[in-house]
């Protein structure tokens, strides 16, 4: 287990800066009044491929030696990591192999292909995915970039909160959604050195609360196939991200499906940005636990904005 | 007819700066590739009340003498001008009277009231509106702030393109939607002095193309009750805005209802912002007339982001 450190995060920022956007921070008087807090929303949905995951992916891709790079990168994901890794590989001009269940939404496949990613379809089971992925790696010799349990990826995600605390100073806490824990781990990594007085708080769907239960139990608990409208948050913690969560996260709050959808609508209506359900869990937990946030300066990571506009959760 | 000049716009900017947001400019590699142009979207939907109209309204409200201000302001509008004028009046702590048809959507009435605006309902006819408005003005002595045919309002709207050309230099043209012509007039006012080489182009729905026909005919043509999904663009030019349109606008392009909806979806999907149908007409016309924009640096005003999320035009 190679734990990334603060210098790794700084090096990542220098490496990825030409390839990512310095995303803006948005506020809403209405949402501040509603919560009694000062909320600073970091708009990672404004990254070109629409998610913070472009940071970690770009750090991994541009950190490869020339020799390694020729063989490309590979991952298994049907979400934002797949499109962000494809995007980063396209910018470096190297191959990106993505193993994806054949049942993944067509829109996700289209996005990966638009960025030049090569999809290998598998059956929607862990065994089929592992078999397909082993085959792709053996054939191509490509470098595996895990969606979150990867030192380079966590160092890359940490650059987001470095920007945020430069854009909104004196934050009492930063709240980010937690799935596998890549963004939360990067946030811990950065704040531990740069702003140790700023708490890191994770937000999770009630119906996929394995990180919450792990946090309370003091060991990783992984669920088999949790379901939530926040479809970016259904994967379990792994050893690297558990290291950061168990050592540095101050609290994990959860929110129900309806609370997540209500928060998403508030974000769209009052910040006028397109944010994913996963990105809406932090605001949902803030509204649910007002006393914990009242009077505080709170940073919130809007992690992504890739949404099927024809199937919004409140119009289904 | 009091035509505002460049100094009026500069004074407006100094006056309103503490009360409005310096909105960011967004770009999308995808939309640039699609159009072959470099597009710079000025996000006026990010103003607190969600529309550029807060600029002109704030200039009018904060330009009043103390004596005038006590009696408040008044307008007739069921759109963004009503909520933006209410918002500006609330910030100055003065009354705002809004005459609105009783048939206006409840959400619009709620927004005006949230900002402290006092609504007087009328029947949905011009005669009823004029009668009600005359009564309100007589009773209150409040200052009439027309949604667009007002020198203070046009000077205020002109501050938007001042910011835009400071944020994105060397623009070949700026494209904005045209309804009554307030934003377009302000843009003409500012660019005529600050960047005379930058063309002003107006974009209008085909089904409410009175400005286009006026422009071609060389005189104001007003339609009775045009209909379009771009519901902010259904009002006619007036003498002040006609002055700017006839003297300074380079071209007016139109787009169909379906083209406007398609452009709106592209903006939501690739810029990941919530923009109104009216704000989507410029991109629709750019996609329809690619040769006019290919290879150019093009500023686009995203005029507003107040949308009924339960009734999106592509899910109706």
Per-residue model confidence as pLDDT tens for chain B (316 residues): 899 999 999 999 999 999 999 999 999 999 999 999 999 999 999 999 999 999 999 999 999 999 999 999 999 987 899 999 999 999 999 999 999 999 888 888 999 999 999 999 999 888 898 999 999 999 999 999 999 999 999 999 999 999 999 999 999 999 999 999 999 999 999 999 999 999 999 999 999 999 999 999 999 999 888 999 999 999 999 999 999 999 999 999 999 999 999 999 999 999 999 999 999 999 999 999 999 999 999 999 999 999 999 999 998 6
The residue written with tokens 């937990």 in the block is A285
Of B283, B43, B309, give the one whose Cα is nearest residue A309.
Answer: B309
Tokens matching residue B251: 């071209």
Rounded (5°) CA angle A47-A53-A57: 110
H or E stretch including B298? strand B297-302
pLDDT of residue B104: 86
Residues in chain B: 316
Using 50, 70 and 90 to split pLDDT, how confident is the model at A6?
very high
User: How many whole angstroms separate alpha carbon B204 and alpha carbon B259?
Assistant: 11
Which of A105 and A313 is assigned the larger pLDDT? A313
Tokens matching residue A206: 């009630």
pLDDT digits (tens, 9 = 90+) for A130-151: 999 999 999 999 999 999 999 9
Using 50, 70 and 90 to split pLDDT, how confident is the model at A5?
very high
pLDDT of residue A133: 94
Q: Report the DSSP beta bridge partners of residue B76.
A: B99
Put simply, whether the predicted model's pTM sits higher than 0.90 gets the answer yes
Contacts of A50 in chain B (CB under 8 A): 272
Q: How many CB atoms lie within 10 A of CB A218?
A: 8
Please check the confidence at residue A313 and state whether its pLDDT lies above 90: yes
In the sheet that holds B251-255, the strands lie side by side as B25-26, B38-43, B297-302, B173-177, B199-205, B251-255
Using 50, 70 and 90 to split pLDDT, how confident is the model at A257?
very high
Q: What is the mean pLDDT of chain A?
A: 96
- To probe the interface with B, which of A272, A302, A315 has the most B CB atoms within 10 Å? A272
Contacts of A265 in chain B (CB under 8 A): 309
| Contact yes or no for A30 and B45 at CB 8 A | no
Contact by Cβ (8 Å): B304, B79: no
Taking the alpha carbons of A119, A125, A126, A132 in that order, is the dihedral positive or negative?
Answer: negative
User: How many whole angstroms separate alpha carbon A193 and alpha carbon A175?
Assistant: 17
Residue B103, helix vs strand vs coil: coil
CA atoms within 13 A on the CB side of B113: 10
Q: Report the DSSP beta bridge partners of residue A205.
A: A255
Contact by Cβ (8 Å): B177, B157: no
Contacts of B315 in chain A (CB under 8 A): 310, 312, 315
Contacts of A88 in chain B (CB under 8 A): none
Chain centre distance of CA B120 = 23
Chain centre distance of CA B220 = 19
* ipTM of the prediction: 0.96
B6-52+150-302 topology per CATH: Rossmann fold (3.40.50)
Extents of the domains making up chain B: 6-52+150-302, 54-144
Q: Which CATH number fits domain A6-51+151-302: 3.10.20.30, 3.40.50.300, 3.40.50.1100, 3.20.190.10?
A: 3.40.50.1100
Q: Which of A28, A46, A312 sits opposite B272 (nearest CB)?
A: A46
Contact by Cβ (8 Å): B239, B149: yes
Residue B58, helix vs strand vs coil: helix
**Helices A277-288 and A257-270, axial angle in degrees (round to 10):** 100
Using 50, 70 and 90 to split pLDDT, how confident is the model at A316?
low
Residues near A145 by beta carbon (within 8 Å), at least 6 away in sequence: A57, A60, A61, A73, A74, A75, A85, A152, A153
Q: Which CATH class is domain A54-144?
A: alpha beta
Nearest CA in chain A to B311: A315
Tokens matching residue A35: 């919560």
**Helices A80-92 and A106-114, axial angle in degrees (round to 10):** 10
Equal CATH topology for B6-52+150-302 and B54-144: yes
User: How many whole angstroms separate alpha carbon B143 and alpha carbon A246?
Assistant: 61
Of B60, B40, B224, give the one whose Cα is nearest residue B155.
Answer: B60
């Amino acid at each position: 287990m190679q734990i990334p450190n603060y210098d790794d995060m700084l090096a990542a920022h220098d490496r990825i800066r030409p390839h990512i956007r310095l995303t803006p921070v948005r506020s809403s008087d209405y949402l501040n009044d509603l919560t009694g807090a000062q909320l600073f929303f970091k708009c990672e949905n404004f990254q070109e491929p629409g998610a913070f995951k472009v940071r970690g992916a770009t750090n991994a891709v541009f950190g490869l030696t020339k020799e390694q790079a020729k063989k490309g990168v590979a991952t298994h994901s049907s979400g934002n990591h797949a499109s962000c890794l494809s995007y980063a590989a396209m910018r470096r001009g190297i191959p990106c192999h993505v193993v994806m269940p054949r049942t993944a939404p067509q829109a996700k496949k289209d996005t990966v292909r638009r960025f030049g990613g090569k999809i290998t379809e598998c059956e929607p089971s862990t065994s089929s995915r592992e078999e397909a992925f082993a085959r792709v790696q053996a054939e191509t010799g490509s470098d595996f970039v895990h969606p979150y349990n990867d030192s380079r990826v966590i160092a890359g995600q940490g650059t987001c909160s470095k920007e945020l605390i430069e854009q909104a100073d004196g934050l009492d806490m930063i709240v980010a959604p937690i799935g596998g824990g890549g963004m939360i781990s990067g946030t811990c990594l950065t704040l531990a050195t740069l702003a140790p007085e700023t708490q890191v708080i994770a937000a999770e769907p009630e119906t996929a609360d394995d990180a919450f239960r792990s946090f309370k139990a003091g060991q990783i608990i992984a669920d088999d196939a949790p379901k939530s409208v926040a479809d970016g948050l259904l994967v379990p913690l792994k050893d690297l991200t558990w290291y950061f969560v168990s050592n540095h996260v101050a609290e994990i709050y959860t929110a129900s499906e309806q609370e997540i959808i209500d928060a998403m609508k508030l974000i769209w209506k009052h910040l006028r940005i397109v944010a994913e359900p996963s990105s809406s869990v932090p605001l949902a937990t803030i509204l649910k636990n007002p006393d914990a946030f009242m009077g505080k300066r709170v940073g919130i990571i809007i992690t992504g904005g890739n949404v099927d506009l024809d199937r919004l959760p409140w119009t289904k």
